[in-house]
């Protein structure tokens, strides 16, 4: 028990210091480690295994919607990057440059990709000739680099892993449909796989991705009321196509420009999982992406028959679930704390008395609920339990988001809410960037998160300036 207590005390309380709590979990749950390169982190096996589960699930969804995976170069010539002016300006402060190859200075600087729009455009120019070549539905799994000044594991690192979809379409309508379709894929993934609810909508012009005509976003709320931009989908129109002279012969036998989309999510989703579901004892992982779904802990394993029965259970359950049998010589209490720290959804305890009664103990990670269950129907019981864990995690996160979502009708009310009650603020907006800037300055960082697809008519006037309102906006601070 001393070891167990020591392990739990190693985590700072979530309510005491949320940032320290987050860092403690990242380290104690062995998700990642710091590297010798500033701002870059090392994925440890458990952390990378979570990303592999996320990747596998999302990749299936992408392929079901007709997308194919490709891979583009890591380096981009400066002349190529300069072809889309707005895009370049948006990334300029974060670009890392390669200026020397071996012992020779390069004749042209190469940037380490911050994103790959220009590379895809260069390729599309060579492979799109006719409307018959469209649509092009490509996706890439890779790493990108953005030279961040302030970093935090998973949430904001100089190098991070992600997927970036880049598609070309015959018409603007098709491209706009694709933009919203992929946003819906993200929304479904967050709900169905990560058990995370979110506000979904369109970014304001100020927050629109550099070079895009429209940006749509999914915005989950962390436990402390701070937003995390969980994923974005962009409609580019034909701006990149014109910049890169990508044309195709249309059905009317005339040259036309294709219409483009781009969409992506990254390993910051792991940060979202931690901050939405975690507690003071460690991770709480959604069952569908947990590297270990069931941890089997033998109790009094030195006694005859206990390890044999535990191995029998492991072999049975491993046919359906990701199972870990811990037969190490650590105490059961230490093992309980270890797998709670790692967020394993279900723990199975089996000891001599359980074997006599043909039963075991099942413990849920999300609420610590224990139940004695028969070994005869263990597979079915665990299946139902995992479903219940997922739904309970989603419901708890949704309740937190709803409890921390407020409405402000006046500027004073908005400022007071922003200062004293962390969370989302629903308020009307006139559409002018000056009001966005003023709100951010006065509230020390509260920004527009999105204009929801289903807007509420809260009042007739802008919460900031009092002029006629054009949109209802969700506002909040972000990671």
The string of pLDDT tens digits covering residues 329-367 is 999 999 999 999 999 999 999 999 999 999 999 999 999
Instruction: Look at residue 86 in the predicted model and tell me its pLDDT.
Output: 67
Which residues, at least 6 apart from 13, have a Cβ–Cβ distance to it below 8 Å? 21, 280
Instruction: Look at residue 87 in the predicted model and tell me its pLDDT.
Output: 64
Q: What are phi and psi of 139, to 5 degrees?
A: -140, 150
Q: Within a domain: residue 282?
A: no
* Residues 121, 166: Cα–Cα separation, whole Å: 9
Same domain, 207 and 61: yes
For tokens 């864990």, what's the residue?
389
Q: Within a domain: residue 179?
A: yes
Same domain, 411 and 381: no
Same domain, 446 and 379: no
- For 12, which DSSP code? P
Whether residue 284 contacts residue 335, with contact meaning beta carbons closer than 8 Å, is answered with: no
Q: Within a domain: residue 394?
A: no
Residue 374 has pLDDT above 80, yes or no: yes
Instruction: Look at residue 169 in the predicted model and tell me its pLDDT.
Output: 98
Instruction: Look at residue 130 in the predicted model and tell me its pLDDT.
Output: 98
* Residues 260, 124: Cα–Cα separation, whole Å: 11
Span of 150-154, 184-188, 253-257 with lowest mean pLDDT: 150-154
Same domain, 44 and 110: yes
Span of 145-149, 360-364, 464-468 with lowest mean pLDDT: 145-149
Instruction: Look at residue 9 in the predicted model and tell me its pLDDT.
Output: 54
Residue 85 has pLDDT above 90, yes or no: no
Residue 94 has pLDDT above 60, yes or no: yes
Whether residue 194 contacts residue 397, with contact meaning beta carbons closer than 8 Å, is answered with: no
Assigned token pair, 270: 């792991």
Indicate which CATH number applies to the domain containing 261: 3.30.930.10
* Residues 399, 195: Cα–Cα separation, whole Å: 12
Does the N-terminal peptide bond of residue 255 adopt cis geometry, omega within 30 degrees of 0? no
Q: Within a domain: residue 70?
A: yes
Q: Within a domain: residue 91?
A: yes
- Binned at pLDDT 50, 70 and 90, residue 2 comes out as very low
Residue 186 has pLDDT above 80, yes or no: yes
Instruction: Look at residue 5 in the predicted model and tell me its pLDDT.
Output: 46
Residue 3 has pLDDT above 60, yes or no: no
How many separate domains does the chain show?
Answer: 3
Dihedral sign for Cα 334, 337, 341, 346, please.
Answer: positive
Mean pLDDT for the chain overall: 95
Domain of residue 419 covers 405-476
The string of pLDDT tens digits covering residues 21-51 is 999 999 999 999 999 998 899 999 999 999 9
Q: Which of 336, 358, 387 is a domain's end point?
A: 387
The string of pLDDT tens digits covering residues 404-462 is 999 999 999 999 999 999 999 999 999 999 999 999 999 999 999 999 999 999 999 99
Same domain, 365 and 438: no
The string of pLDDT tens digits covering residues 225-238 is 999 999 999 999 99
Residue 84 has pLDDT above 90, yes or no: no
Strand, helix or coil at 25? helix
- What is the arithmetic mean of pLDDT over 10-18? 92
Q: Within a domain: residue 77?
A: yes
Q: Within a domain: residue 417?
A: yes
Same domain, 225 and 77: yes
Same domain, 381 and 415: no
* Residues 143, 267: Cα–Cα separation, whole Å: 10
Indicate which CATH number applies to the domain containing 368: 3.40.50.800
- What is the arithmetic mean of pLDDT over 54-68? 98
* Residues 391, 371: Cα–Cα separation, whole Å: 18
Rg, C-alpha atoms of the chain: 25
Whether residue 435 contacts residue 204, with contact meaning beta carbons closer than 8 Å, is answered with: no
Alpha helices (H) in 113-171, listed in sequence order: 117-127
Strand, helix or coil at 308? helix
Same domain, 107 and 215: yes
- For 131, which DSSP code? G
Same domain, 52 and 171: yes
- What is the arithmetic mean of pLDDT over 90-98? 84
Assigned token pair, 58: 């999302």
Q: Which residue has the higher pLDDT, 86 or 362?
A: 362
Whether residue 304 contacts residue 354, with contact meaning beta carbons closer than 8 Å, is answered with: no
Instruction: Look at residue 224 in the predicted model and tell me its pLDDT.
Output: 97
Indicate which CATH number applies to the domain containing 446: 3.30.110.30
Q: Within a domain: residue 283?
A: no
Same domain, 212 and 100: yes
Instruction: Look at residue 475 in the predicted model and tell me its pLDDT.
Output: 98
Same domain, 96 and 64: yes
- Binned at pLDDT 50, 70 and 90, residue 88 comes out as low
Span of 146-155, 204-213, 345-354 with lowest mean pLDDT: 146-155
Same domain, 208 and 237: yes
Instruction: Look at residue 38 in the predicted model and tell me its pLDDT.
Output: 85
């Amino acid at each position: 028990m001393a070891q167990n207590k020591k392990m739990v005390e190693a985590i700072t309380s979530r309510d005491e210091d949320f940032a320290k709590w987050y860092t403690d979990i990242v380290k104690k749950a062995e998700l990642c480690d710091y590297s010798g390169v500033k701002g870059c982190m090392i994925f440890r096996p458990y952390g990378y295994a979570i990303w592999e589960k996320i990747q596998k699930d999302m990749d299936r969804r992408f392929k079901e919607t007709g997308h194919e995976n490709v891979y583009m170069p890591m380096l981009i010539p400066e002349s190529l990057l300069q072809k889309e002016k707005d895009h370049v300006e948006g990334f300029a402060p974060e670009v890392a440059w390669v200026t020397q190859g071996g012992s020779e200075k390069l004749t042209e600087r190469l940037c380490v990709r911050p994103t790959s729009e220009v590379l895809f455009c260069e390729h599309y120019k060579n492979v799109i000739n006719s409307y018959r070549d469209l649509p092009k539905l490509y996706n890439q799994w890779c790493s990108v680099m953005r030279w961040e000044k302030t970093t935090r594991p998973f949430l904001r690192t100089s190098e991070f892993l992600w997927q970036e979809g880049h598609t070309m379409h015959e018409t603007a309508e098709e491209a706009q449909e694709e933009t919203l379709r992929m946003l819906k894929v993200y929304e479904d993934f967050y709900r169905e796989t990560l058990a995370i609810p979110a506000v979904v909508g369109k970014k304001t012009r100020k927050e629109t991705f550099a070079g895009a005509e429209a940006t749509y976003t999914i915005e989950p709320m962390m436990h402390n009321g701070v937003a995390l931009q969980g994923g974005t989908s962009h409609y580019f129109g034909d701006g990149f196509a014109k910049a890169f002279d990508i044309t195709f012969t249309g059905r009317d036998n005339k040259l036309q420009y294709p219409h483009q989309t781009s969409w992506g999510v990254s390993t910051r989703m792991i940060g979202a999982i931690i901050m939405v579901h975690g507690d003071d004892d460690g991770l709480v992982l959604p069952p569908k992406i947990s590297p270990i779904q069931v941890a089997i802990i033998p109790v009094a394993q030195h006694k005859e028959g206990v390890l044999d029965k535990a191995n029998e259970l492991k072999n049975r359950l491993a046919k359906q679930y990701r199972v870990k049998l811990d037969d190490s010589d650590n105490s059961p209490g230490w093992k309980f704390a270890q797998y709670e720290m790692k967020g394993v959804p279900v723990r199975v305890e089996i000891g001599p008395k359980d074997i006599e009664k043909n039963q075991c103990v099942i413990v849920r990670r999300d609420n610590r609920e224990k139940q004695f269950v028969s070994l005869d129907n263990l597979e079915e019981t665990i299946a139902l339990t995992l479903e219940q864990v997922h739904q309970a995690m989603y419901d708890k996160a949704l309740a937190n988001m709803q409890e921390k979502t407020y409405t402000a009708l006046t500027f004073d009310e908005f400022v007071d809410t922003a200062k004293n009650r962390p969370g989302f603020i629903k308020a009307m907006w006139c559409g002018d960037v000056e009001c966005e800037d003023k709100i951010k300055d006065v509230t020390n960082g509260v920004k527009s998160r999105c204009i929801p697809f289903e807007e509420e008519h809260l009042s007739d006037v802008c919460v900031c300036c009092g002029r006629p309102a054009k949109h209802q906006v969700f506002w909040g601070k972000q990671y």
